[in-house]
């Protein structure tokens, strides 16, 4: 079983409009609503790839109930979310179908009490007993300690469960020092962490801070990976047009599935880039275009960097 942790779950709402313009009314042409937050998106992709997945984190209120109701209809995903008094947040993506650009609005999330955080930590330790890998994903809701991911990484390492960390800011800075197996920042998060806008230099700096492997997402330029086995740059055959929301989460799913299947690093990166590009062509985060994915697998380029 692969475990994904999403402390700040969300109900993801995607609006599609023909052209997004400020200060005007828009007629929405299509609406999709999905259980969201980075770890839940990762879980849906992993399940679609045939892996058993359990999701945990916090959920509450009316939006939390809607999220869990929809999650119950997702094959292959087991709900181990922790109920809280506060309301689960909503995230709203507005996609301009003329350009493919997306505008994102993210609510902060519920206030987590010390008792709720303690309940989560107890449940997490139990779930680790049957986990083959764990992904710690996304932002931390109010009330959760900023060093929470560092503590969760140390708990997983004590249980001999490999950990992937995908977050930003101070939680990333503290988490990487706890020595996760893989860290997957995007270019902006990597620059914020290291102070360098040169991805090659920044990945070296980030790895020295404690991570076993750094896989940096460079958007249309693919993934740059620095691992104990070598350095690689994996790129898609062309820039995909569509909704990029969730593309990074699909890359995480590719990396995690490759880890538990013990694939060589170039194969993990090929899968991650193909899934990411195929997600851009899908309607919502946590989904990918299966036909596009199969074609892209043979066309992703992985070179030593």
Q: Are 243 and 100 in contact (CB under 8 A)?
A: yes
Q: What is the rounded CA–CA span in Å between residue 251 and residue 269?
A: 8
Q: Considering 12, 166, 249, 289, which one is annotated as catalytic? A: 249
> For 284, which DSSP code?
S
Question: CA 272 → CA 74, 114, 216, distances in Å?
Answer: 22, 36, 12
Tokens read off for 45: 């992709």
Q: If residue 133 lies in a helix (H) or strand (E), which one and from where to where?
A: strand 133-137
Q: Are 149 and 136 in contact (CB under 8 A)?
A: yes
Partners of residue 224 on adjacent β-strands: 216, 233
Q: Is 249 in the active site?
A: yes
Tokens read off for 27: 């007629």
Q: Are 143 and 112 in contact (CB under 8 A)?
A: yes
Active site residues: 249
């Amino acid at each position: 079983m692969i475990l994904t942790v999403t402390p700040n779950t969300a109900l993801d709402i995607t609006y599609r409009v023909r052209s997004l313009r400020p200060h005007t009314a828009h007629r929405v042409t299509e609406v999709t609503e999905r259980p969201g937050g980075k770890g839940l998106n990762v879980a849906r992709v992993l399940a679609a790839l045939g892996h058993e997945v359990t999701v945990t984190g916090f959920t509450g209120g009316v939006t939390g109930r809607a999220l869990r109701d929809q999650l119950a209809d997702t094959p292959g995903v087991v709900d181990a979310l922790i109920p809280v008094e506060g309301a689960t947040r909503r995230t709203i993506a507005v996609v301009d179908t003329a350009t493919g650009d997306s505008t994102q609005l993210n609510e902060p999330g519920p206030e987590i009490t010390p008792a709720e955080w303690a309940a989560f930590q107890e449940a997490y330790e139990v779930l680790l007993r049957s986990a083959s890998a764990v992904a710690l994903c996304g932002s931390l809701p109010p009330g959760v300690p900023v060093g929470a991911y560092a503590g969760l990484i140390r708990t997983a390492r004590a249980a001999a469960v490999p950990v992937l960390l995908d977050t930003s800011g101070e939680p990333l800075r503290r988490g990487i020092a706890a020595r996760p197996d893989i860290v997957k920042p995007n270019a902006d998060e990597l620059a914020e962490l290291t102070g360098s806008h040169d991805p090659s230099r920044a990945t070296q700096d980030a790895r020295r801070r404690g991570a076993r492997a750094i896989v940096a997402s460079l958007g249309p330029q693919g993934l740059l990976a620095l691992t104990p086995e070598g350095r690689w740059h994996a790129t898609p055959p062309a820039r995909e047009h569509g909704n990029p929301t969730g593309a990074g989460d699909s890359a995480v799913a590719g990396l995690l599935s490759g880890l538990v299947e013990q694939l060589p690093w170039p194969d993990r990166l090929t899968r991650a880039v193909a899934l990411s590009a195929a997600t851009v062509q899908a309607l919502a985060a946590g989904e990918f275009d299966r036909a596009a994915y199969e074609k892209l697998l043979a066309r992703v380029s992985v070179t030593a960097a």
